[in-house]
Amino acid sequence: MAKKERTDEKILDVDARMQGTIIFKDPVNLRINGSFEGKLETCGSLTIGENANVRADIQGDKIIIAGKVTGNLSASESVALIPPAVVSGNVQTPLLSIAEGAVLDGQLKMLSLKNTGSGGAKTLSLRDVAQYLEVEAKVVEEWASQRKIPAEFQNGEWRFHKVAIEKWLQDEKVRP
């Protein structure tokens, strides 16, 4: 039987001191309440709690910060800073919310939110998919041209729907 869990059922609430690299390939609702140092890559929602102290570069979909973060943030969907958040680092995101009392000390790069068609399925570039799958871009391009991966060729470049890629992975279509 296929494993089908909703994102809100995969909740990880961490109140500990950790160091290293943490990568979540499947969507998860992660909340950090303690200390973390290193690198963090998530799918789904990441919340840095009010008492958390994080020294890391963070990459994710939806990032909510109420604690202290030192490091660069890159979010594909949104970043929200709520008091008493203090972020020291650069931020890249298509949507940013900074509530009164929260602090951002760094540069901001607002990304375009690329939506297509029905359901607002986000599109990804060849490089994004290669990074997400942890393979070389030429491998993803080869798969796309051979129709081994769901993709569309638009305006001279391959485009991928994030939802289709996630379903493709869930159905175990890729075996690098």
Q: Is the peptide bond before 84 cis (omega within 30 degrees of 0)?
A: yes
Nearest 5°: the CA angle 28, 29, 34 is 120
122 band by pLDDT with thresholds 50, 70 and 90: confident
Condensed to tens digits (0 to 9), the pLDDT of residues 23-38 reads: 888 788 889 999 999 9
Choose the weakest-confidence range: 14-23, 85-94, 97-106: 14-23
Looking at the predicted structure, is the pLDDT value of residue 69 above 90?
yes
Comparing CA positions, the residue from 174, 175, 171 lying closest to residue 4 is 171
CA distances from 159 to 69, 89, 111, 146 (A): 33, 30, 17, 14
Condensed to tens digits (0 to 9), the pLDDT of residues 133-144 reads: 888 989 999 999
Cα–Cα distance, 27 to 13 (Å, whole number): 14
**What number is the average pLDDT over the span 118-141?**
77
Q: Interhelix angle for 162-170 vs 126-133, to 10°?
A: 30
pLDDT for the residue 54: 96
Half-sphere exposure of 129 (CA within 13 A, CB side): 30
| Run of H or E residues at 162 | helix 162-170
Q: Which domains does the chain have, with CATH numbers?
A: 7-110 (no CATH), 115-170 (3.90.105)
Q: Are 81 and 97 in contact (CB under 8 A)?
A: yes
Q: What is the pTM of this model?
A: 0.61
